[in-house]
Structure 1
Amino acid sequence: MGGVKLRNITVEKFRAASAPEQHLEIVERKGLGHPDSICDAIMDRISVNLCTEYLEKFDAILHHNIDKCLLVAGETAGIFGGGVVVNPMLLVIGDRATFKAEDTEIDVANIAVDTARSWFDENLRFMKQDFVEYQVELKPGSAELTDIFRRQKGILGSNDTSAAVGYAPLSFTEHAVMDMEKHLNSAEFKEEYPESGEDVKVMGIRRGNKLDLTIAMPLIDSFVDSEQHYFNMKGDLFGAMNGFLANYMESNGVEMNASVSFNNLDIPGRGMQGIYTSVTGTSAEDADCGQVGRGNRVNGIIPLNRPVSSEAAAGKNPVSHVGKIYNVLSHYIAGRIVDKVPDVKEAYVWLLSDIGVAIDKPKVAAAQVIMEKGSVDSVAKEVEDVIDFELEHIQDFCMQLARGMMPVC
C-alpha cells in the first residue's frame, strides 16, 4: 500500500489495560436536545451548507471556521397543561467565513440562520420559530489563513500545529450509554412516549461487573396534567428504560448487574418546582446555556477513561483545519486498524500536524495497540500500511466531512 513511505509512522504497544478490563469506566453522552449538542450540531451543519455553496459557485471549499457559538438560555413559565416561553433563547453564531470571491458574494449570514432554523424544525418537536433569536458574528478570515486556500491545488497545508487522538473499538459501557440516548430520542420512542423531551443526558459508570446509568430527561409540560400525572408517566418511562437496557444486554450476550436512575432531583409534594418539565424539550429554554466544544467528543460520547482530543471539531472547515480533520480521522483510522489487522483488540491513533505542511504528511502519526494474541511487532507493518493508506486518501476523507457524512458530535 502507498508505495514509497513518505510519512513518519510509528507503531508500539499500548501500555495499559484495555477499557473493558479496567475496574472503573465513566462515560457520558449529551443527547440531541442538550444545549451543547445543539451548538455542535448546528455549527457543523452550517459548515456543511457553506461547503455546498462554495463548491457550487467556485468548485472549491473556501476558508471558513464556524466553530464559535453560544446558545443563551431564555426564560419560560412552566404550567401544568402547557407553559409559555417568556423570553426567547439567543443563538450567537461566530468566527470566520469567506463572504466574497471572484467578485461573487456569498450570503453567509442568511445561510447560517436558515440552517439553524431548519435544524430546530427537524429535531425539536416543540420548538417554534419565535422561541429563538439569532446574532451572527461571522467575519472575513485573516489574510494569512485565507491564503492557505489559494497557495496550492489538491491537498492543502495544515492551518495549525495541533494534535489529536482517537481509539477503537468502543467498549460495551460506551456503546450502552450512547445507544440508550439514541433509543430515547428515536422516532419510535417519541411516538410511543410523546411526553419525553429531547434534552436527554446519560451518565454511565461501570465498576467491575456493575453498570449504573443515570438519566435526565424532561417531560413536556403540555402532556402533564398534575404532579401525580407526572410521576405516573415517569414510572412508565422508567420501566421502558429498564426494559431497553435488559434487552440490550441480552442481545449483546452481556451478563452484568445493571441499574437505571431517572430524574433524580424530583421531589414529590413540591408541584412544578419538584419535577423536571420543559416547554420546548431543551433546558436551553430557561436553565442552561450551550457552547461549541463542551459536548460529546467526535465519537459521540465523553469517555473519561480514554485519551481525548482537546479541540472542538464542529464547524471547522474540513480541508485544512486539522482540529477537525485529525480529530475525526484518528478515530476512523483506529477503527480501520481493528477491522483490518488480525488479533488487534484495541487501537489508539495519535496525529500531530505541522502548520503549513500538507495535511497528508503529519509530523507524527503513531498507533498504540493492544493485542488479543501475538506480538505488536508481528502486525506493525500491517498497521503502518493502514495508516499510510488512509493518509494517502485523505482528500476523499475530507470530502466526506464536507458533505456531512462523518459525524462530529
Structure 2
Amino acid sequence: MILVEQHTGGSVTEQNVEMVERKGVGHPDQICDSVMEAISVALSQAYLKEFGTILHHNIDKGLLAAGRVSRGFGGGEVLEPMELTVGDRATFSFQGKNIPVEQIAQKAVRDWFRQHLRGVDPDRHLRIRFKLAPGSQELTDIFVRPGAVRGANDTSAAVGYYPLSPTEQAVLALEQELNAVSFKERFPETGEDVKVMGLRFRDELDLTVAMPLLAGRIGSEAEYFARKELVRAEMYRFMAERGGFGRVTLHFNTLDQQGRGLGGVYLSLLGTSAEDADSGQVGRGNRVNGLIPIGRPIGTEAAAGKNPMSHVGKIYSILAHRLAREICQKVDGVSGAYVLLLSQIGDPVDRPLMANAQLMLARGRQLAEVTDRVEELLQRELSHIGSFCLSLARGESAVS
C-alpha cells in the first residue's frame, strides 16, 4: 500500500533546540558498523562470483573489545590487542561446494583497518574471533524460492527524511573535514576517533568535538596544548567559511586540563579509543544518513552487515532516505519529506505492507497537486528494487 499525505508537524528548523551527533571512522561503534558491512559486501561478491546469486548471510552482530596500551609523550606500546567478535549467520556450503567464509571475512576486516586507520596494524593490534554459523532452514529457504525479488526476512519498519537541516549539514561536514586526507596531511598528529555533537539554540550553533592527538607525534604537555590550539583555530576557520549561523562556539577535548600531565590530555597511540578506553558495538554508530539526529524519527534497525537482498532492516533503512531525497529533488512543490516503509516477513521486498510519504509543501502548494507524482515515483523506485539491492551488495551506499 502507498499512502501520500501532508506532514502535520513542524520542521526541525522551526524548533528552538536541535541536537545532532556524528561519530567518525575511528570511533569504536563506527568501526564495528563499517567492518561488518565490509564483510557482508565481501561475502556477497564471493557468492555472486561462485554461484551467480547472493546467499543467506547476516553479519550484523559485532563487538569490538578495547585492548590495552602503555603511552606517554613521544610514543608507547600495545600491551594487549583489541578483540573483534564477528557473529551471526552465513552460508558455508551450497550446491556441494564449500565457501571459505571465515577466510573471506578475515581478509575484509584486515583490509578495512589498513585502509581507514593509519595507526592500526591489524596483524599486530587486532585479534578476530568468529562466532558464525549456518542460518535456520526457513530463513535460508528464502534464497532458493522462485521469484526475481527475495521475500523479506523480517517484519520491520524504517524511516528516512530529506533535506538535512543546516545543523545536520554542519555536523556532518565538520567530521568529514577532520577525517579528510587533506586535513590529516596538514595535521598528522590528529587521530581518526572523532565525535562531533552539535547543539543549535535558535540561530547559534554550539559544537563539542572529541579527537585525540597521537602520542608518537606529541613530545610534551606544552606541545599538546599548542597543537590543540592550532587545530581548534582550523575548525573555527572551516566553520566560518561555511557560515549560516548567527554565532558558532566550538569546544575541543573538553576533559583536558593543563598541569595534570598525561591525566589532563587526550592522547592516543593508535588513533582510536578502542586501543584501551572504549569498546564498540554494531548499531550504536550513525544512522544510514551518517548522523544520529536527536529529535528526528529514526529506525531501530542496525543496517550494517545485514543481507542486501532480503533484510529490510538494511534495504528499507537506506531506501527510505533515498526516496525522501528523490521526492524533494524531483517533485516540484515539495520542500521536505519523511518516508516510512514497513515490511511483512515473507512478502517480496518490492511490495511493502506500507509505503507512507509525509510531505512538507512549499508555500501556496496543495497536496492534491503533488500526490500523483509522488505515488508514481514511489512505485517506480520499488519496481527497481532488485538493482538497488545489488548496488547495496557492492557497497555503493553508506550504512552509517
Please give the TM-score of this superposition, normalised by the length of structure 2: 0.99
Which of residues 321, 344, 358 is equivalent to 2:348? 358
Which of residues 39, 56, 65 is equivalent to 1:72? 65
- SS of alignment partner, residue 78 of structure 1: strand
Deviations along 1:302-347, one digit per CA (max 9) or x if unpaired, are 0011100100000000000001000100000000000111121110
Which of residues 225, 235, 243 is equivalent to 2:237? 243
1:265: which partner in 2? Answer: 255
**How far apart, CA to CA, are the structure 2 residues paired with 1:33 and 1:394?**
32
Q: How does 1:10-409 map to 2 (within 5 A)?
A: 10-128=3-121, 129-249=123-243, 254-373=244-363, 374-409=365-400
**How far apart, CA to CA, are the structure 2 residues paired with 1:31 and 1:267?**
24
**How far apart, CA to CA, are the structure 1 residues paired with 2:57 and 2:287?**
21
**How far apart, CA to CA, are the structure 2 residues paired with 1:372 and 1:171?**
16
Give 1:18 shift: 1.2
1:127 partner amino acid: V
**How far apart, CA to CA, are the structure 2 residues paired with 1:22 and 1:371?**
18
Give 1:136 shift: 0.7
Residues 204 and 245 of structure 2 are in contact (CA less than 8 Å); yes or no, is this contact kept in structure 1? no
Deviations along 1:125-166, one digit per CA (max 9) or x if unpaired, are 111121100101111011000000011131011101100010
Deviations along 1:365-392, one digit per CA (max 9) or x if unpaired, are 0000111121122211111111111101
- SS of alignment partner, residue 75 of structure 2: coil
**How far apart, CA to CA, are the structure 1 residues paired with 2:246 and 2:327?**
29
**How far apart, CA to CA, are the structure 1 residues paired with 2:158 and 2:40?**
20
1:99 partner amino acid: F
1:342 partner amino acid: D
**How far apart, CA to CA, are the structure 1 residues paired with 2:393 and 2:360?**
32
**How far apart, CA to CA, are the structure 2 residues paired with 1:82 and 1:372?**
57
Deviations along 1:91-143, one digit per CA (max 9) or x if unpaired, are 00000000100111111101111111111111111111211001011110110
**How far apart, CA to CA, are the structure 2 residues paired with 1:307 and 1:216?**
26
Deviations along 1:247-275, one digit per CA (max 9) or x if unpaired, are 112xxxx2421111100000111101110
- SS of alignment partner, residue 158 of structure 1: coil
2:392 partner amino acid: L
Q: Which runs of 5+ in 2 are unaligned?
A: none
Give 1:77 shift: 1.0
**How far apart, CA to CA, are the structure 2 residues paired with 1:221 and 1:402?**
38
**How far apart, CA to CA, are the structure 2 residues paired with 1:62 and 1:256?**
52
Q: Which runs of 5+ in 1 are unaligned?
A: 1-7
Residues 205 and 245 of structure 2 are in contact (CA less than 8 Å); yes or no, is this contact kept in structure 1? no
Larger mean CA deviation between 122-131 and 274-283 belongs to: 122-131
**How far apart, CA to CA, are the structure 2 residues paired with 1:154 and 1:392?**
11
Residues 28 and 64 of structure 2 are in contact (CA less than 8 Å); yes or no, is this contact kept in structure 1? yes
**How far apart, CA to CA, are the structure 1 residues paired with 2:16 and 2:374?**
28
**How far apart, CA to CA, are the structure 2 residues paired with 1:385 and 1:169?**
20
Please give the TM-score of this superposition, normalised by the length of structure 1: 0.96
Q: Over the residues paired in the alignment, what is the CA RMSD in angstroms?
A: 0.7
Kindly report structure 1 stretches of 4+ aligned residues shifted beyond 3 Å.
Answer: none
- SS of alignment partner, residue 235 of structure 2: helix
